[in-house]
């Protein structure tokens, strides 16, 4: 059983997809809390509506990023959290945080990594002129969107696409694969082998 915290900064659509999957599929996941770095984030309201404990953890209370990372990790640990899903959390978490949850932090990114890491991936894809983009669920390491890849889903990029239209098409796929990746982790079906993530056969016993 995973003791999960979801970290989000915005409207929380991936957060909702994860919560619904945990409940609808009866996943072996104990959802401990949702945490946001924005006091007015819509994800906090949605978490409350779904009866999930919601907290704010504001960076302005910490002069240095490393202090924030350390304090956030300690806060989650004190609540019994052992696994973290980043769902539109708009802060790059440093090594102190990553080391606190080794191979237990997942992130969803709106591109086919390693293409277009960082912010505004959909805009990067359109400006580069690619014909296919998509989304990636990966383990978080100490780099920027650079951890081992768990799962990806591709979508076409049309000549008529705007950032908004491409973002919406990618988001639909994000809502499909992020819960699947969490389910695989919860069922101990992910094995990291160097840069590769191997999906193990399900144990039927």
Q: Is the pLDDT of residue 91 over 70?
A: yes
* Mean pLDDT of the 29-51 span: 97
pLDDT tens per residue across span 10-19 = 999 999 999 9
Does residue 205 surpass a pLDDT of 70?
Answer: no
**Mean local confidence (pLDDT), 101-125:** 97
Sequence-ordered list of residues with C-beta below 8 angstroms from that of 185, at least 6 positions apart, any chain: 2, 83, 104, 106, 150
Domain count of the chain? Answer: 1
CATH at residue 134 = 3.40.50.170
Instruction: Please give the residue range of the domain that contains residue 66.
Output: 2-199
Residue 114 counted as domain residue: yes
pLDDT at 204 over 70: no
Mean pLDDT confidence for 106-130 = 97
Cis peptide preceding 164, ω within 30 of 0 = no
**Which tokens hold the place of 143?**
């780099």
pLDDT of the residue at 77: 98
Alpha-carbon distance of 14 to 58, in angstroms, equals 21
- Mean pLDDT confidence for 151-164: 98
| 48 within a domain of the structure (yes/no) | yes
- One of 109, 120, 138, 175 is an active-site residue; which one? 109
Confidence label for 101 from pLDDT (cuts 50, 70 and 90): very high
Is-catalytic flag, 175? no
Q: Can you tell me the mean pLDDT for 89-100?
A: 94
Q: Is the confidence at residue 44, as pLDDT, over 90?
A: yes
| Residue 205 counted as domain residue | no
Give backbone dihedrals phi and psi of 116, rounded to 5 degrees, phi first: 55, 60
């Amino acid at each position: 059983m995973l003791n999960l915290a979801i970290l989000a900064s915005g409207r929380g659509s991936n957060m909702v997809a994860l919560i619904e999957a945990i409940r609808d599929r009866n996943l072996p996941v104990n959802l401990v809390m949702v945490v946001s770095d924005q006091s007015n984030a819509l994800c906090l309201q949605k978490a409350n509506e779904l009866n999930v404990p919601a907290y704010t953890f504001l960076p302005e209370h910490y002069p240095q990023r490393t202090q924030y990372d350390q304090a956030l990790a300690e806060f989650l640990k004190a609540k019994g959290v052992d696994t973290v899903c980043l769902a539109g959390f708009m802060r790059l978490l440093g090594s102190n945080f990553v080391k606190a949850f080794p191979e237990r932090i997942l992130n969803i990114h709106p591109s086919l990594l390693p293409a277009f890491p960082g912010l505004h991936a959909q805009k990067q894809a359109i400006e580069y002129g690619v014909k296919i983009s998509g989304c990636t669920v990966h383990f978080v390491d100490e780099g920027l969107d650079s951890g081992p890849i768990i799962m990806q889903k591709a979508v076409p990029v049309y000549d008529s696409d705007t950032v908004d239209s491409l973002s919406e098409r990618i988001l639909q796929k994000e809502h499909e694969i992020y819960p699947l990746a969490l389910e695989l982790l919860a069922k101990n079906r992910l094995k990291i082998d160097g840069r590769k993530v191997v999906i193990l056969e399900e144990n039927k016993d």
